[in-house]
Amino acid sequence: MPAYRAPERGDPQVIARRIAEGVIILAERLHRLPKAYPHWHPFDPAAYFDLYPEQVPALIRIERLGATLDVTVYADLLSPAFRRAERFWATEFCPAYLAAGENDAFLHHFEQRTLPAMQRRLQEARDEIARAWDLLSRRDDITFLAVSAALDERITHLHRLPEDDPDLIDLYHTLPTLTLSRSYDILEMLKRSDNRHV
């Protein structure tokens, strides 16, 4: 969608600004969700977040657990560099990794070309997301700060890291992310909606 589109290439600050603008729109939609949700039967995340239906499974996760609605927006996907890294990982890195044997040409190719290319793309994605994060955090935008899920995301996945690699753990804690998340009490949303109509 145009509101979330950042240029693929160009001035890094312009790209970061466009990513930040998209994240702000998503954060505001998350903030307003309690007012809108009770009026949708069933709730349509594509229409609400102004996305194509095909984008929803990648960008939005909605879980209803009893009377709680958890919504997570994977806004890192607004970053063109992140999408390039993800595409390279799926089409080049994984096949090369799986093909690499012990001391063969595939292993040499993986170590000399594929791995450095993946590392370069990850660094570009990190830099692009960090620039957008800096813009957002300098704005002191309460709506964005209230739904930023960087800390929650890091805590959720921390158990997957090897405990004997402190450098990797330090790197993990400094990785920028634009993920947004919020939990809602569905009964409270419905009650507020009913009170407005009384």
> What pLDDT, in 10s, does the model give residues 41-60?
888 999 999 999 999 999 99
Tokens of 34: 């309690």
Average pLDDT over residues 48-73: 92
Q: Note if the pTM is more than 0.85.
A: no
What pLDDT is stored for residue 156 in this prediction?
A: 53
pLDDT of residue 1: 59
Please report the DSSP string for 87-138 in residue order. Answer: HHIIIIIHHHHHH--TTSHHHHHIIIIIHHHHHHHHHHHHHHHHHHHHHHHH
Q: Note the residue count of the chain.
A: 198
Query: Mind listing the pLDDT tens digit for each residue in 120-153?
Result: 998 999 999 999 998 988 877 777 777 776 655 5
Contact 23, 143 (CB under 8 A): no
Question: 61 or 171: whose pLDDT is higher?
Answer: 61
